[in-house]
Each structure stands twice: as C-alpha cells, then as structure tokens.
Structure 1
Amino acid sequence: MATTIKTNRRDFLKIAATATGGLLIGFGWSSCDTPKVQVLSTEEVLAKAHNFNSFLSISPDGDIVIYSPNPELGQNIITSFPMIVADELDADWKKVRVLQAPLDNQRFERQLTGGSGAMPHSWERLRKAGASAKYLLLSAAAAKLEVPQEELYAEESMIYHKNSKKKISYGELVMDAAALEIPEEVPLKDPKDFKLIGTPVKNVKNKEMFTGQPLYGLDVYKDGMVNAMIQRAPFGMKIKSVDDAAARSVKGVLDVVVFKNNVAVVGSTTWPLMKAKRMLKIEYEPDGAVESTFDHDRLFAEMLDAKTAQIMRQDGDVDAAFKNAAQVITAEYQCPFLPHAPMEPQNFFAHVKEDSAELIGPTQTPDRARMETARLLGIPVENITVDITRLGGGFGRRLMADFVVEAAELSKILDKPVKVTWSREDDNTGGGYRPAVRYRFSAALDEAGNMIGYKLRGAGMNAGNTTRENNFPSGAVPNVLIENVNHRSTVTTNAWRAPITNFLAYAEQSFLDEVALAAKKDPVAFRLELLKKAKNEPVGQLGYDVDRMIGVVEGAAERANWGKNANVKQGFSVYFSHRSYVAQVADIEMENDQPVLKRITAVTDCGVVVHPTGADHQVRGGIVDGMGHAMFGNLTFENGMPKQRNFDSYRLIRMKEVPEVNVHYLQTPFEPTGLGEPALPPTGGAIANAIYAATGQRLRAQPFIEQKEYSSLNLQIKRA
C-alpha cells in the first residue's frame, strides 16, 4: 500500500532546463519561491535555484541527471542517494547520470560527510524528490493520453496505460510536466515495491576509478599553479630560527616561505619539494602555551584518581550498592593516540584573488573549509567557491580544514594558485589524532550474580566527553555512576571513525565479559539478562532501542552457533552507535596447541539496506579497520613528535591477517541508518574476548601485539 507524505509546492523548483527544454526539479526542505517556467541553460538553472538538497533533471531525450551533494569518500553515497531517487521515480537506471555537486548552502542541506548521518537525514527527502517528479510525469501523461491518472503506471522511464497498452516516455513529457503544480500530498512506494533499493547496483564511478580518471584531490591541476609542501612545528614547540639555504639550492624549488609556525617549500612538482623539505634546518623552542610533557601514564593515573570529575550520569545509590555487594570487579582499559592514515594524504588547491577565492579538493566539510578560509582572508563567504573532489579516505581527518587554510594562506602570500600536498610523514605527524583514553570500570554483584552497581570513569587527552553515558548497560543497572575527566594536551585531536565509541566499545564489552565470568554466567546470556531488565524495569534514560539490540545479540549468537562447538572458542561484543546496532562473534580454533583466529560473524540492524554491496563494504571495512587498529595501531611521542612517521613503523593490518568475515542484516522496517562507522566499535571487544576464552589472557590495552599478555600467545590468523 502506497504511503503519502505532505509536501509544499514552495519546496520545489520546476524549470524547463537547457536550451532544448527539459524538466529540472530542485528538492529541499525550506520554503522557496517557485519561479515561472522558463527555458534556461544549465548554468542559469543552477544560478536561479536555491534552498535545495539536490537536483533531478530529465531531458527531452530521456537522460536523467542527479546531483549528489555529499562528499564521497568510499561510503558510496554517490551511488545510494541516486538509487533512492531513481527508485521512487521508476527511472531506467541505465539512463541515470550522477554528478558531484559543488558546495552551495543556498541549494543544498547538510552538505558534509561525517557521523554516518547522510542516509538518515536524506532518506525521506530523496524519496520525496523522486516521487514528486513521477507524479508530475504521470499527470502530464494522463492529460496527453486523455485517460485517468489512476489507470497509468510507470516503469523504467516509461508510462503505460493499463487498458489500452499505450505508452509514452519521460522525455516526451518533461515540458508538460514542468508546467504542473505539485499537490500537497505525494504518494510514496510501499517498500515491497522497491526495484532498485535493496539490489547490488554497481558503483556509478567504477569506470572512472578503474581507468584512472582524475577524481581525487591529488589529480587537480590548474594553469599557473605551483606546488607546496610544508614543515610543521612539533607539538608544544615554535620556530626559533630557519636555515633554508640548502633547500633553496634544490633544482625545482622556487621559493621557501615562513608563515606562522610553518615553513613551506614551493616548486613546480612535489618530488624536489620532498627532498628540499628534508634539507631545511629548523631550530625549535617550547611555545609555553600549554604543557608539553608526554608522560601519559602519569597523567592518566592522576585523572583516574582525581577527587573530582564531571558527572555524566548518576542513577540510584551507587555507594550503597558497592558497600553491600557480594563481589566487586574492577579493571582499567587503555587506548592510544592513532592517526587516521587515509591512503590519500591531505591536499588542497587554492587560488586567492583580491576579493575572492577558489578552493578545490577532498573535504568532508566543505562549508567549514569555506568559512575558515573566509575568516582567514577577511572576505565574504559568498565570494568563495568550493569544488569537492572524491576523497581517498578520510575517517574523520578531513572534517578539519587546517590543510585547506594552509593552501589559501600560501596562495595569498604567493599571489598565485597553489596546491599544498602532505607527505605520508606529514600526515602521520600533522595531528588531528584519535584521542588517547583510559577507562576505569567497576561492577557490583549481589550473591545471585546480578549486577546491582556500575561505575565508569573515562580519562581522555583532548577527548571531550569520553563516555556515552546513556548507552548500554545504562538503564539496565539500578545504580550507576559515569564520570569524565578531560586533559588539555598539546597533541591535537579530532573525530576518528566512530568517535569515542571506537575504543569505549572495546573496553566496555571486554569488561562486561569479565563481569559475566565473575557472575558465572554465559556472556551472551548475561547481556540478554541485562537488556531484558532495561526493557521491563528501565532505570533513567535509555539511549538505545532495547528490542533492536536484543535482535542483533540473538541474531549473531544464532548465526555464529554460539557455544555449540567445544573446539571453537568464541568472543562476543555488541554495540549501538550512529543509530545502528551491530553484534559480532569472533571464533578462535586451536591448531597444534596454538590459537588461530578463523572468522568474525557480524549481524547488523541498520533498518532498510539501500545498497547491499555498499553496505557490505562498509561493514567489512569497519571490521577490518577495527581489528587492525585494536591489534596493531599505536602512536608514541618523543620531543613533541610521533615516532611512527610512516608505514614502516606505524603498523597497519595486512591482507593476509584478515580472517573470514560473515556479514548478515536483520530485515527490520525502520528507516535506514548509518553504516560508515557502527561496525568498527564492537570488533576489538569480540576479538579480545575470544582470545581470553581460548587462552585465559585478558587484553586490557591496545594495541594487543604490544601487551605482555599477548607476546606468549602466538596468535595466528587464517581464513576458515
């Protein structure tokens, strides 16, 4: 049965587009004036439209163009967004062309990639756009064929009359459709009638990627452009003196520029710049602004033992619960700083003129890039354009705009277009890391093994709130105290894939296993027991849907044959983040008395799965990323600089170290939620709990390979 959704005629722009005529619909969710139908060029159409989330255009020859506003960094939003529009439109997918839209706050909403929020934000909007366009086309067809509209149906960019079998193409109807008004209510498809949504559609940019077409920021080239690479000061330090004589002598170097706390070498190509940058002789001194020590063990101990902390949640009488407990379990878990390490290092192009600027490159937050550039240059925001290239990864690092501002500032200094490119060493040492955090957990059990008290204190380095105080097991325990302590460090931090939950989930889920063991309960049964308490006797605010979490817990246990094979030692983990629920089971088998990690089974509830291929890539990628960083990733500092400067010393997971990964989805009726991040948080806990089940060694710190408990395990990884 079709659903309807209220709309407003002022929400839409209908224009006959291009010199030969056609229908263009801009769709957005704040009111705008609908201009009269005109024949316009594409440039004129884009100039007149405003307040829209995206554009859908249909030409008289039937070609369909859909503009995708959000930056594409591998999450495949540039394919899944148009799929939603095209499905409601009943378009012929072979005739759909997808273009990346530039930054334009007047036309587009939430034009960013971060927080796994693009799909939940745009799902209804995109459906509404396709359905509205189809309604106009059906209305135009009814008038042209002189039949009632309810006797018509659409399929693959054609409209058919059920009785007479007459048919007419979308292209033949666009001019008539552009003259019609959109009603207050537009029918949407029943999900059972989806044709594209839920099918494995190929990435719309496959051909360009496979054939090496210029898609990425590193591919940008403009006439008159120079290249620049920058040496940045260590954390807590400032430049005292610079000797650039040797660097200037390198062939291909055009200039050396000192600005703020940076030294830039400028030239025609990047290769001589990399050589010249190593030849700079720079003397630094402490900047005195903030502490510059890196004794993190001492700092963490002080924060965890501090008499005062920010209380994030307090339920019941925690002191009484722990005083009267039959058993108290306490443990600490620690995670290090980590770089984002996208395969494409940071880069950006800028051309600053007298009262305007052109920016081109890979950014997750193009509006932030523009705003910070405007603030730096002191020019109006509307005088700055931002074209978004495909991103070669981001993981949160490209939410920042430091690399954009560098390019803009250098362009202004040099009075010419410039592209700033970071090396891998620059990327690893340039800051914006995942915060380092240590957690102290305590649980109080009664004589029956029920958890009657729960305490968590998080201590973070520039981490803000290190907790997710309303997440499970909050709401399932009668007495809860969750606290946070944050330390201002010279090390700059930033959102890192699944912020906070990427390490909190590992610590929390490992600790819950410790509590289950102390209570002499099966880890899955223990979690289900807590969830049922949260459902039947909730305490305080619940930040999660209990039934959906129970669904993935039971689903993962069933699909992984939890506890049914004595030869398989298993670890369990479940987490809710970014509106989605993921449970995972890691399987370890003993071979020649050595533990072998064979497989990870994941069950996800993200509502409607729009693009199964893309979803599969996101879940598998999140698991591999979560596993790799839990087991191997680490940054340590010396004199304000990370020791791990490149991939020879910063350890990433290797292809041969990835076990079999089995991915499943619960078929639930909820609107789709994010998938770029939710599969990562549970992975570390599932693996750590499996290692304990197999060896009796509890790993309470990341990376696993650097813990003394791990060194004797000789853990191997094989595909089952």
Structure 2
Amino acid sequence: MTHTASSSRRSFLKSTALSSGGLMLGVSLPLLQGGAQAAGTVHTPNAWVHIADDNTITLMAARSEMGQGVYTSMSMLIAEELNVDLAQVKVTSAPPAAVYVNALLGAQITGGSTSVRDGWEKLRVAGAQVREMLVAAAAAQWGVDAGQLKAHKAMVTGPGGKKASYGQLAEAASKLPVPAKPQLKDPKDFVLIGQRAKRLDTPAKVNGTAEFGIDVKLPGMVYAALAQCPVIGGTVKSFDASQAKRMPGVIDVVQIPDGVAVVADSWWRARKARDTISIQWDEGAVAALSDGSIIAGLREAAKSGKVIEITKPQGDLAAAFKTAAKVVEAEYVQPLQAHAPLEPMNFTAHVQGDQVLLIGPTQFQQGAQGAVAAALGVKPEAITLKTTYLGGGFGRRLELDFIVQAAQISKAVNKPVKLVWTREDDFAHDYYRPAAVNQLKAGLDASGKPVALHFKVASQSVTQRAFGLPKDTLDPFMAEASVAGYNIANAQHDLVIHDTGLRAGYWRAVSHNMNAFANESFIDELALAAGQDPYRYRLALLEGKPRFAKVLQLAAEKAGWDQPVAKGRARGIALMEGYDTYMAQVAEVSVDAQGEVRVHRVTVAVDPGHMVNPDTVEAQIQSSIVFGMGAALKHQITLDKGRVQEANYNTFAPVRMYEAPKVDIVLVKSTEKPGGIGEPATAVIGPAIANAVARLTGKRVRRLPITADALKQA
C-alpha cells in the first residue's frame, strides 16, 4: 500500500508538461564565467563535467545549494567515477537547460529530497563517461590499448612511464564519442561514496566569499523596496508617492502588478521612502478570510466534498467495522505555516531591451526563466539566469513572484535592480503550507488489533495552483505518508481537495507533515485503547516489513524505551517512510509548570538506502528535527480579515539553541537505492512529541502547535 501512493506520484510527474526524456549529452551550454571555453582553456566532455587545461575539474551543479550539502554530495558522485580527490572538484551552478531536468520532478527543480536520488546514477554515469573518454584519448595519442591505462588522481598513466593529466587530455577527449553505457564502479570499490566528507562550501561561507542573492552587486545597480497589499492578492487602486519622490537617494517610483516600488541608490533609502507612500488598495476576496474560517471550510469539505481515492480500498471495510469490538475516531488539525527562511526574498535583474540577466536564489531555474519571459514578453532563451547560494529555501524559493517583480522593476527604470523584501514582507506574502484536517476511524478486534481503518484528509492542492493539476485529480503531493506501513486487512484512504482561497505552497516535507502527524498520533491512540505499549503495538503490525521494523526497533533500543525515564519526563515514538527513506524517532519530553513542552532528547534510527555522505545525512536529520519542532510546538500563521498576524521572528519564534534537544542518530547501512534525507525527519518529530506529551500528561493535543494553551484545552 505504501508503494501505491509513491507510484502514483511518479506517474503524475512523468505526465506533466515539464517532463524530460532522460539524460542528454553533448549539448551546447553557457559555460563558466569569463568565457573560458571560447579562450580554448575549458573542455566539456558532457554537460556535467568541465576540465580546464590547468587540470581544474568543475561540476555544473544543477541543484541549488541551500544548506543541504548538494554541492558536496553531487561532487562526490562525479569524483568517485573520475577517480579524483574531492578537493580537486570545483562547483558552479548550472544554467537553465533541458539536460539539467530533475527526472523525479519533471523540471529543473531542487526539492522533494530528490537531489541525490536523481543524481545517484546520472552523475556517476557522467563521471564514468569522462573517465573513459580521457583514457580513450590517451590510448589514441600513445598508440596503446586502453586496457593498459589507468585513470587516477586526475592523471592517466600507461606502460613505459607514460602519463598525462586530465587537463592535457581534455581537449582531445571532448571530441570523442560519448560512451552510452560506461562501466560504473562496483559499490565495494567506492573510495569516496559512503565516507564522511567535509563540505566544499564551508570555507567560502566562513570567510565571506560565498555569494548569496543578497550579496549580489552589478555595475550601476540600484535598489528597490516594494509595497504590497497587506491582503495577499490585493491590487493598487491609487497611490500618492509625492513625499517619497522628494526623499534623498530616490531615483523613481514605479507601479507593477504586485504593488508600488521605490527605487533608490541604497536599499535603506528605498525602504524608508516606500513607507511614506499612501496607497489605496482593492483588497479582494482574501480579505474575508480568517484562519478559523479556513479550518471550518476544510471540515465542511471533509463532510460533503468530492472524495478522491488515494489507493484502491482494501478488503471489506463496512463489514469489518460492523464486527469490530471497539471503534475509535479522531480528528487532527494542522495550521498554516510560513517558510521563514533566514535570507529574505530577493533577486537582482537587469533588463536591456529583449535581453535579461537574472541573478539570485531560486529552487526552480526553468520556472524563473519561463515566468520572467512571459511577464516581459521576451523569449526564454534571451534570459540568462545565475543561481547564487540560497539562505534557506524550504520550498519558498520554488515560487517566482519576487523574481518576476525584480525584472518588472528593472524594465521600468532601465537599470540593474536588486529587489529585497523585508522580513515582514516575507511573513505577509508567503505561499503558506496549507492547513489540513485529517479524520481517522478504526475498528479494533477483541485483542485490540486494528482490523479496519478509514483515513480521510481535506486540504488544499498546491499542485493545482503551481502546475495546473486538473480539478478532482489525485494530487500525489497531498497523499504522501497517508498510507502508513502497518498491516491492516481492511482499509480505505481518501482525499478531499478544498481551495481555501489563500495561496498555498510546498513546505519542507509537504504532506508528510499532516499525514504522518495524523497516522502516528492515531496509532498511539489505538494502542492506548487496546491497553498495549505503543512501540510493541506498532511492531506487531509490521510483519513482512523489515525496513520499517528495523528502524523502529533500533530507535526504541537506542532510546532505552524499556528503561525508566527521568522523573517528570516521558517518551513518544513515531515511524514513517518518506522519500524512500525509513525513519523512526523517539522524543523524550517534559512539561514545565507553565505548560510549556521541552524536548530533551530525540533518538533517530534511519535507513536512507545507500548514503553518499553520512555527515550530511546526520546534519540534515538534526536540521529537520529543529525545523519540525518549531511547527510542532510554536509556529502557526493566523489571519484576521485576510491579514497575516505574525510579522517577524518575535511572533513566529524559531527554536532557540537552548531549546534544541540532544539528537542521537543511528544510521542503517544499506545497499538499497538512496532515499531522500532533507525532509522526512521534519514530519516524524511532530507526532513523536505529541505522543510523548500525551503519555506524560494524559492529554492528547490533536491540533498543532502543542502550546500551553492547547494543553489546557485538551
């Protein structure tokens, strides 16, 4: 059942208009900065690897680096097959091009914990192709059989002491046919893959040379601050910018579809002038929304909306409920969430006639190129896009609004423009994680075993808005983790799509968050109803599911599940498969006199398949746990008359360092295909905490976040 939903997700993505037809080689691409190829110093055996005459090897990274370590892991895949040290590989961001499409997502997108999964074979093949082409070039030059040669440490060596660097051979190699099926290394021979490696981007981030979008500077560049309607989707009726135009440094005030922008010689001057503009807004339909009305609408949709099957019903659900010894029902609610990346939205654009330069942080290169082309009426190929480092993404930088805005402002003033949003702009104009209502019903037999399960989720489809998914079509990104790994003979899983009227976006771990919270909270409630231990209750339902069972057992053992816990504390457990990664977590919590939950320790057992860099795997788990803790214990976006009430980190407080728990991680060594690791832990920590709090207090909080007030009302 778990794999049915996964298959439908892949099938949907393959059918989208953005789908790509596999690995393309030998294409003509914009090259490295400075036009090195034209100077004859850089050679391109394929679209991923560039080798310069000075023996410098460069990876064209088609995935955005937003802290998840892809520049390092992707370089390791290339370096492994090239037989070079990781330190010999440099990285530059790839331009928009069909060859760089993420096959798992159907577009040049960084998201869905897919970077390593997509690149696992693709990049190893690219490295092996180049290795074989270099060896073939050397064999041709030396008149020897290629089987007598060895490629190692960026050198090809042969009989009689013959040797040449990769750089010396690169020009000849780039002219050879690209081998379609190069010989890949046997995993037992891996030197780099699977070993802990220091990140390649750390030195630049420490010494300040790493360029984030907010660091970009161009000759003659000016700065823009944009006033947008306090209600998302609102439009300008009229405005008075007379005072702003008189302020120091102000160059122009221009109206674009999303609002009114002030352009000045510094961003602070632009921001100060922006705040003096008097604007009359048409607030639109969203002005009638509140967070309460959104949840009420979802509940009504769950009751009367069109039901879409997530999977084919299994067994005879109605009959199983009739004969059940006990029936348990529960509803779980998740609120809206903001992405809140540390680096605010920004982008730099320079529009010169029908030529456009875009520089900044994006997770969606092709989308940025296409959206700006449509907005400005130019051809996509007239747009050059350079991706900087991202100061956080979490799905927010899949959106294109701020990029289009920068281009529109640049066109209006005929200058290179850097648009920077304030933190308050970010909170007020996000594409929020949709709210959700999950309703579950189970029938238990006399022994307490679940014999019937009905799962229903009502939420909003991001994919309908972002990619034109037809109405009443299963959105696979709403169904993730809806079908848990447990063996339940009679089951039905349904989905109801309800448009709340507020724009929604993909948020780290997407629908795993709402569905895992519901499933893993509910299975704990069933264990309680059955009078059984929640860990052993789960384990008994995992026969024939070895990867699920192993991580569950490892997490419980490492956490000391059967050992006494410190006074005033309790443990909770949760389990999920997401992104082809199997994970269990045990959270150890306490609740203080004010009702505030404190997470002291989180134990994680994870089977992510074949790991490229275990150090990154651990870092991503730690990051995801802290990120998910914020949503579980603190964060929500509330609306009053369409206006977001959370304006900055003081009202949307992140998890502080002193609040971060000790995280113990058990990595399962596996030869399975790589799973994704940047997101799943985000979804598992919420139910693990909720289950621990319920065990400690006897109060079940079914609506996140688990605040002191929520506990009082439970």
Per the TM superposition, whether the score is higher than 0.5 is yes
> Counterparts of 1:473-488 in structure 2 under 5 Å?
473=484, 476-488=487-499
> Is residue 526 of structure 2 the alignment partner of residue 526 of structure 1?
no
Aligned residue type for 1:197: I
Shift of 1:525: 2.0
What's the CA shift for 1:359?
1.1
Q: 1:98 aligns with which of 83, 91, 100?
A: 91
1:25 is matched with which residue? Answer: none
Q: Is the 8 A contact 2:101 2:109 kept in 1?
A: no
- Tell which deviates more after alignment, 249-258 or 264-273: 249-258
User: Which deviates the most, 215-224 or 195-204?
Assistant: 195-204
Measure how far apart 1:642 and its partner are.
0.7
Is 1:69 the counterpart of 2:80? The answer is: no
- How far, CA to CA, are the matches of 1:642 and 1:33 in structure 2? 47
Give, as a single letter, the amino acid of the residue that structure 2 aligns with 1:395: F
* Pick aligned residue for 2:280 from 283, 291, 295: 283
Q: Does 1:341 align with 2:335?
A: no
Give the corresponding residue for 1:659: 661
Residues 312-359 of structure 1: CA deviation (Å, up to 9, x unaligned): 343333232223221111111111111100000111111222222111
> Given residue 302 of structure 2, which amino acid in structure 1 is its aligned partner?
L
Structure 2 counterparts to residues 170-181 of structure 1, below 5 A:
170-174=166-170, 177-178=173-174, 181=177
SS at match of 1:531: coil
Show CA shifts across 1:225-283 (max 9, x none): 22111111113644333233333343222222233241212211111222223322223
Consecutive unaligned residues in structure 2, runs of 5 or more = 1-21, 464-474
**Residue 562 of structure 1, CA deviation:** 2.2
2:389 corresponds to 1:407: no
Are the counterparts in 1 of residues 583 and 681 from structure 2 also a CA contact under 8 Å?
yes
Deviations 1:397-446 (A, max 9, x none): 01010111111112222222222111000000013011111211111111
The structure that is strand-richer by fraction is 1
139-148 vs 244-253, which deviates more?
139-148
Distance in 2 (alpha carbons) for counterparts of 1:251 and 1:501: 50
User: How does 1:80-119 map onto structure 2 within 5 Å?
Assistant: 80-105=73-98, 110-119=107-116
Contact 1:236 1:290 in 2 (8 A): no
Q: Following superposition of structure 1 onto structure 2, how do residues 514-663 of structure 1 map, counting pairs within 5 Å?
A: 514-532=525-543, 535=544, 546-565=545-564, 567=566, 569-588=570-589, 597-663=599-665
Q: 2:697 is matched with which residue?
A: 695
Give the Cα separation in 2 of the matches to 1:269 and 1:571. Answer: 51
Q: Provide the alpha-carbon RMSD of the alignment.
A: 3.2
Counterpart position of 1:269: 266
Q: Please say if residues 411 and 418 of structure 1, whose CA atoms lie closer than 8 Å, have aligned partners that are also in contact.
A: yes
- Residue type matched to 1:199 in 2? Q
How far apart, CA to CA, are the structure 2 residues paired with 1:134 and 1:43?
Answer: 20
Please list, as runs of the form range in 1=range in 2, the aligned pairs for 1:452-531 lying within 5 A after superposition.
452-461=451-460, 465=475, 467-468=478-479, 471-473=482-484, 476-531=487-542
CA shift in 2, pair 1:478/1:291, >3 Å: farther
Distance apart, 1:691 and its partner CA: 1.5
Does residue 206 of structure 2 align to residue 196 of structure 1? Answer: no
Shift in Å, 1:478: 2.4
SS in 2 for 1:91: coil
CA contact (8 A) 1:316 1:480 kept: yes
Give the count of matched residue pairs: 668
TM-superposed CA distance for 1:171, in Å, is 4.1
**Partner amino acid, structure 1, of 2:113:** S
Partners of 2:243 and 2:704 in 1: CA distance: 42
Distance across 2 between alignment mates of 1:47 and 1:426 = 45
Tell which deviates more after alignment, 662-671 or 313-322: 313-322
Distance 1:296 1:555 in 2: 40
Q: Would the alpha carbon gap of residues 373 and 178 (structure 1) be closer, same or farther in structure 2, given more than 3 Å must change?
A: closer
Counterpart in 2 of 1:18? none
TM-score (norm 1): 0.85
In structure 2, distance between residues paired with 1:501 and 1:653: 21
How far apart, in 2, do the equivalents of 1:377 and 1:77 lie?
32
Matches of 1:34 and 1:260, distance apart in 2 = 36
> Which of 111, 132, 137 lines up with 1:135 in the alignment?
132
Q: Whose relative contact order is higher, 1 or 2, with alpha carbons under 8 Å and at least 6 apart?
A: 2
Q: Which residue of 2 aligns with 1:10?
A: none
1:43 paired with 2:18, answer: no
Tell whether the 8 Å contact from 1:336 to 1:435 is kept in structure 2 after alignment.
yes
| 1:445–1:453 Cα contact (<8 Å) kept | yes
Aligned pair in 2 of structure 1 residues 249, 639: CA closer, same or farther (>3 Å)?
Answer: farther
Question: Who is 1:210 aligned against?
Answer: 206
Secondary structure of 1:433's partner?
coil
**Pairwise CA distance, 1:469:** 7.0
Say if 2:48 is the partner of 1:58: no
Match of 2:248 among 248, 251, 259: 251
User: Match of 1:123?
Assistant: 120
2:142 corresponds to 1:158: no
Residue 108 of structure 1, CA deviation: 6.2
Give the distance between the partners of 1:396 and 1:360, measured in 2 at CA: 18
2: CA distance, partners of 1:503 / 1:247: 45
CA deviation after TM superposition for structure 1 residue 211, in Å: 1.5
Partners of 1:46 and 1:586 lie apart in 2 by 57
Deviation at 1:57, TM superposition (A): 2.9
User: Residues of 2 paired with 1:485 and 1:129: CA distance?
Assistant: 43
Distance 1:462 1:204, change over 3 A: same
Residues 302, 370 of structure 1: CA spacing in aligned structure 2 closer, same or farther, 3 A cutoff?
A: same
Alignment CA distance shift 1:244-1:305 (3 Å) = same
Letter in 2 for 1:217: G
SS at match of 1:664: strand
> What is the CA distance between 1:633 and its match in structure 2?
0.6
Q: Secondary structure at the match of 1:607?
A: coil
Match of 1:704, SS state, is coil
Amino acid at match of 1:352: V
Look up the equivalent residue of 1:43 and give its one-letter code: Q
Aligned partners of 2:390, 2:494: CA distance in 1, in Å?
Answer: 37
Question: How far is the alpha carbon of 1:160 from its aligned partner?
Answer: 5.1
**Contact 2:571 2:588 (8 Å CA) reproduced:** yes
Give the Cα–Cα distance (whole angstroms) in 1 for the partners of residues 572 and 47 of structure 2. 44
Give the 3 Å change call, closer, same or farther, for CA 53–615 of structure 1 in structure 2.
farther
Aligned amino acid, residue 603 of structure 2: T
Distance 1:178 1:332, change over 3 A: closer
SS of the residue 1:680 aligns to: helix
Matched residues in 1 for 2:480 and 2:388: separation? 37
In structure 2, distance between residues paired with 1:182 and 1:239: 55
Shift of residue 555 of structure 1?
Answer: 2.2
Please name the residue that 1:541 is paired with: none
Compare 248-257 and 684-693 and name the one that shifted more.
248-257
Q: Are the structure 2 counterparts of residues 396 and 169 from structure 1 closer, same or farther at C-alpha, using a change threshold of 3 Å?
A: same
**What are the superposed Cα offsets for residues 553-582 of structure 1, whole Å, 9 maximum, x if unpaired?**
222223222223354632111111122121
Distance 1:556 1:293, change over 3 A: closer
1:498 is aligned with what amino acid? A
Tell me whether 111-120 or 151-160 shows the greater mean CA deviation: 151-160
> Aligned-pair distance for 1:645?
0.6
User: Against the structure 1 CA distance between its residues 526 and 176, is the aligned structure 2 distance closer, same or farther, given a 3 Å change threshold?
Assistant: same
Does the residue aligned with 1:186 lie in a helix, a strand or coil? Answer: coil
Moved more, 568-577 or 83-92: 568-577
- Look up the match of 2:324: 325
1:542 maps to what in 2? none
Rounded to whole Å, the distance in 1 between the matches of 2:658 and 2:329 is: 36
Percent sequence identity is 35
* Partner Cα separation in structure 1 for residue 483 and residue 620 of structure 2: 23
* Counterparts in 2 of 1:144 and 1:473: CA distance versus 1, 3 Å: same
CA 1:158–1:289 in 2, change beyond 3 Å: closer, same or farther? closer
**Equivalent of residue 298 in structure 2, options 297, 300, 312:** 300
2:466 is aligned to none
* C-alpha distance in 2 between matches for 1:590 and 1:421: 40
> In the TM superposition, what is the alpha-carbon distance from 1:391 to its structure 2 partner?
0.7
SS in 2 for 1:679: helix
Residues in 1 aligned to 2:426 and 2:526: alpha-carbon distance in whole angstroms: 40
Q: Is the 8 A contact 1:53 1:107 kept in 2?
A: no
Q: Which amino acid aligns with 1:405?
A: V
